[in-house]
């Protein structure tokens, strides 16, 4: 929610570029502390936002020049320069609710995260359900995981593999699962499916997705961060099941006017997948 709060605070209305520059300037002048205090958020959250923007900006500056803002359909706008997608939808599905609630817990806990896999396609209108909402998070220590579980419990989540109210159980989960590279599952208010699957970033694509995440603003009210679409499409092709290929085709068709085709080709080459299937049988 940090972005929304910052937007509300900023002198209005600032265009995307100006807004970004304004935040960078503030960060340089050291007035971030004051802004953070006024917003009632941590300095780390504000810095993280500014840093994320600066990184995305720097990376995108090297890409081919293209239109920065693409309106892809009614209620769907992709602003590449800000790394932001704005989406309007009439209602939230259970998948949306679970994802948004958990994303807020992570945002409030200052934990880097990115949403990956099938949910990203469902978020944008793919007509299927998902059993898991997959979150990749930056590495955190055991005590931070304890705090994350406390916050998650306050927000209505329970652990599937252990007892969220027992410190011993949470520590065991951290050591046996997260620290070993396996995922931990959270259930929201008794919902078994969809549930939240959380694991640490362990591979290069995971780390890349974390540092180059795209912010999705839903109905100008909710916010989640998703993996860069080029990586997401190539990765889905790499997984290769009919369902995954369908997700890749869906995201590609929806965003092809807005994504970087060079970047998509690079990921396809790196993952050794044939991306010609994206245009097959047209």
Partner 1 sequence: MTSDVLIRDLEEERRRNKLDTIRHARWEAEMVKKLGSKWFEVRDKWLMEAFEADRKMWQNSKVREALIRAILARDREIH
Tell me if 41 sits within 8 A of 48, measured CB to CB: no
Q: How many residues bind partner 1 (CB under 8 A)?
A: 42
Please tell me whether residue 274 binds partner 1 under the rule CB under 8 A. Answer: no
Q: Binding to partner 1 by residue 221, rule CB under 8 A?
A: no
Q: Which of 186, 200, 250, 267 binds partner 1 (CB under 8 A)?
A: 250
**Smallest separation (angstroms) from partner 1 to the CB of 53:** 27
Q: Which strand (E) or helix (H) includes residue 187?
A: strand 184-188
147 contributes a contact to partner 1 by CB under 8 A: no
Residues numbered 192 to 211 that lie near partner 1 (CB under 8 A) are 192-193, 195
Is residue 276 a contact residue for partner 1 (CB under 8 A)? no
Q: How far is CA 176 from the centre of its chain?
A: 26
For residue 187, the tally of other CB atoms under 10 A from its CB is: 18
Q: How far apart are CA 118 and CA 111, in angstroms?
A: 22
Q: Applying CB under 8 A, which part among 10-18, 103-111, 126-134, 223-231 lies near partner 1? A: 126-134
Cα dihedral 88, 72, 11, 44 sign: positive
Q: Contact, 203 vs 138, CB < 8 A?
A: no
Minimum separation from the CB atom of position 127 to partner 1 (A): 5
If you count them, how many residues does the chain have? 282
Please check whether residue 222 is in contact with residue 95, taking contact to mean a CB–CB distance below 8 angstroms: no
Pick the closest to residue 138 from 165, 107, 101 (CA basis). 107
Q: Which residues contact 143 (CB under 8 A, 6 or more apart)?
A: none
Task: Decide if residue 175 touches partner 1 (CB under 8 A).
Answer: no
Minimum distance from residue 198 beta carbon to partner 1 (Å): 12
Shortest separation between residue 184's beta carbon and partner 1, angstroms: 10
- The answer to whether residue 51 forms part of the interface with partner 1 (CB under 8 A) is no
185 in contact with partner 1 (CB under 8 A): yes
Contact positions vs partner 1 (CB under 8 A): 72-76, 88-91, 93-94, 124-129, 131, 160-161, 182-183, 185, 190-193, 195, 242-243, 245-247, 249-254, 277, 280-281
């Amino acid at each position: 929610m940090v972005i929304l709060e910052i937007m509300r605070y900023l002198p209005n209305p600032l265009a995307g570029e100006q807004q970004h520059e304004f935040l960078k300037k503030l960060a340089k002048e050291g007035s971030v502390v004051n802004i953070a205090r006024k917003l009632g958020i941590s300095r780390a959250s504000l810095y993280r936002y500014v840093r994320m923007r600066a990184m995305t900006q720097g990376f995108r500056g090297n890409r081919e020049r293209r239109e920065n803002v693409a309106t892809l359909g009614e209620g769907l706008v992709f602003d590449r320069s800000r790394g932001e997608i704005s989406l309007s939808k009439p209602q939230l599905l259970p998948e949306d609710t679970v994802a948004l609630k958990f994303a807020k817990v992570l945002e409030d806990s200052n934990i880097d995260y990115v949403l990956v896999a099938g949910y990203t396609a469902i978020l944008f209108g793919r007509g299927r359900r998902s059993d898991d909402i997959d979150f990749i998070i930056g590495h955190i220590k055991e005590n931070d995981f304890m705090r994350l579980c406390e916050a998650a419990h306050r927000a209505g989540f329970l652990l599937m593999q252990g007892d969220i109210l027992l410190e011993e159980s949470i520590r065991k989960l951290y050591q046996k699962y997260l620290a070993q590279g396996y995922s931990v599952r959270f259930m929201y208010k008794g919902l078994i499916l969809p549930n939240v699957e959380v694991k640490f970033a362990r591979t290069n694509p995971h780390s890349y997705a974390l540092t180059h995440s795209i912010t999705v603003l839903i109905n100008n009210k909710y916010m989640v961060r998703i993996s860069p679409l080029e990586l997401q499409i190539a990765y889905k092709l790499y997984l290769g099941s009919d369902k995954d290929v369908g997700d890749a085709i869906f995201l590609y068709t929806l965003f092809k006017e807005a994504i970087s085709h060079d970047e998509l080709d690079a990921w396809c080459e790196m993952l050794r997948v044939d991306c010609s299937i994206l245009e097959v049988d047209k």
